[in-house]
């Protein structure tokens, strides 16, 4: 497996990645997974390098998959929440990242404001990896694309309906990756939760090139008909807790239940980035059904994290 040809860079949104580069990340992810199941979990290709994780919000999948990925590639890992750093006492991000750039080889950060990642990327001299911001969740989208590739046998011409908060980080990153790869991404939910104009403009060129399409509708039945994937995420993302009541009220009609899966058609699988709020955006029976591929999705966070680190840092 050659890891040579990838340019050293940040991974903040995937908007600046060519479709061929995304396919390459996914191919390397598949190879990482194959090696993993062949008993070769430890690859040591990044021996002696250090990954730092800075998380402003809780995380299970992103934190642990990145840590294990880094360790299995031979890296050292340092985890910190900002309150343990001088950041928590007001040291500017731009100062912090210039100092950390002298110690570690990459920073993966989970932040409330996407602008914090942009500031890190502007001032840091090491790759900055978005471990989730209010706007994007690129590592999740990569794992999702890998899962769809494995289960549907295709990376192109995928029809995916995202139900609920269509402007949340996960939905926005699915739009970005879908536009690159030529998917039909349907955003199904109240108009107030449709993706913002700026993002839709940013993906226009990719859509033209790939033949992909973004459809937005408030009509649940119409939106899920004949899709490959029914996808949802929590109605109240981290950082939006003050809107909880309003969101539950406005998104309440858009729960993914067995009836929705039936309308979607027999071939549709159910996906969720997790953690899920059973009884809100999805019912327990859908999540636990044979059509749910959420555990494969979660597993693929590890293989894609390994590919990302190997390609960005080797
Ligand atoms: N899907 C995801 O990013 O989960 P965590 O919040 O547990 O990292
Ligand atoms: N949209 C969710 C994703 C969690 C992985 C959130 O931001 O809380």
Residue in 165, 273, 280, 297 annotated catalytic:
273
Residue in 61, 172, 301, 303 annotated catalytic:
301
CB distance 60 to ligand 1 below 6 Å: yes
- Structural domains in the chain, CATH included, are 14-136+298-313 (3.40.50.1370), 140-292 (3.40.50.1370)
* Average pLDDT of span 129-146: 98
Prediction pTM value: 0.97
Q: What is the pLDDT of residues 229-271, one digit of tens each?
A: 999 999 999 999 999 999 999 999 999 999 999 999 999 999 9
Ligand 1 centroid distance, CA of 58 (Å): 8
**Average pLDDT score over the chain:** 97
Q: Residue 237's closest CA among 188, 196, 194, 281?
A: 281
Q: What is the pLDDT of residues 276-298, one digit of tens each?
A: 999 999 999 999 999 999 999 99
Nearest CA to ligand 2 atom 8: 237
Neighbours of 1 (CB within 10 A): 12
* Average pLDDT of span 42-61: 97
Ligand 1 centroid distance, CA of 298 (Å): 9
Q: What is the pLDDT of residue 3?
A: 56
Q: What is the pLDDT of residue 127?
A: 98
Residue carrying structure tokens 């731009």: 94
Structure token pair of residue 77 = 């890992």
Which ligand number lies closest to the CA of residue 166?
2
138-152 helix and 169-181 helix, angle to the nearest 10 degrees: 50
Nearest CA to ligand 2 atom 6: 237
pLDDT band at 8 (very low <50, low <70, confident <90, very high): low
Ligand 1 centroid distance, CA of 209 (Å): 31
Question: Does the annotation mark 157 as catalytic?
Answer: no
What is the rounded distance in angstroms from the CA atom of residue 1 to the CA atom of residue 40? 13
Question: Does the annotation mark 233 as catalytic?
Answer: yes
Ligand 2: residues whose CB is within 6 Å?
A: 132, 168-170, 233-234, 237-238, 273
Q: What is the pLDDT of residue 2?
A: 57
Whether the per-residue pLDDT at 81 is higher than 60: the answer is: yes
* Average pLDDT of span 116-121: 98
Structure token pair of residue 263 = 């309308």
CB distance 110 to ligand 1 below 6 Å: no
* Average pLDDT of span 145-167: 98
Ligand 2, atom nearest to 165 Cα: 1
Q: What is the pLDDT of residues 174-213, one digit of tens each?
A: 999 999 999 999 999 999 999 999 999 999 999 999 999 9
Q: What is the pLDDT of residues 93-113, one digit of tens each?
A: 999 999 999 999 999 999 999
How many CA atoms, within 13 angstroms, populate the side-chain half-sphere of residue 187?
24
Nearest CA to ligand 1 atom 3: 62
Q: What is the pLDDT of residue 4?
A: 54
Whether the per-residue pLDDT at 5 is higher than 70: the answer is: no
Q: What is the pLDDT of residue 7?
A: 64
């Amino acid at each position: 497996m050659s890891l040579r040809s990838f340019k050293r860079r940040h991974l903040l949104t995937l908007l600046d990645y060519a479709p061929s580069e995304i396919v390459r990340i996914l191919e390397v992810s598949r190879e990482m997974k194959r090696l993993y199941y062949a008993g070769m979990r430890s690859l040591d290709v990044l021996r002696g390098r250090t990954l730092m994780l800075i998380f402003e919000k809780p995380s299970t999948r992103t934190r642990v998959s990145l840590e294990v990925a880094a360790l299995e590639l031979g890296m050292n890992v340092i985890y910190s929440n900002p309150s343990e750093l001088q950041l928590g006492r007001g040291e500017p991000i731009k100062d912090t990242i210039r100092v950390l750039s002298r110690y570690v080889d990459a920073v993966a950060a989970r932040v409330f404001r996407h602008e914090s990642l942009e500031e890190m990327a502007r001032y840091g001299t090491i790759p900055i990896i978005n471990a989730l911001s209010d706007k994007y969740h690129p590592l999740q989208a990569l794992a999702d694309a890998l899962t769809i590739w494995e289960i549907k046998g295709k990376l192109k011409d995928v029809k995916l309906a995202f139900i609920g908060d269509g402007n949340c980080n996960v939905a926005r990153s699915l739009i970005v990756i879908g536009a690159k790869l030529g998917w039909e991404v349907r955003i199904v939910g109240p108009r107030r939760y449709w993706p913002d104009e700026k993002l839709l403009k940013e993906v226009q060129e990719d859509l033209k090139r790939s033949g992909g399409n973004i459809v937005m509708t408030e009509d649940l039945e119409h939106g899920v008909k004949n899709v490959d994937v029914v996808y949802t995420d929590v109605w109240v993302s981290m950082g939006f807790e003050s809107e909880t009541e309003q969101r539950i009220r406005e998104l309440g009609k858009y729960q993914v239940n067995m009836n929705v899966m039936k309308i979607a058609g027999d071939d549709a699988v159910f996906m969720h980035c997790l953690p899920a709020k059973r009884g809100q955006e999805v019912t327990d029976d859908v999540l636990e059904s044979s059509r749910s591929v959420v555990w494969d999705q979660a597993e693929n966070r590890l293989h894609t994290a390994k590919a990302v680190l190997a390609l960005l840092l080797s």
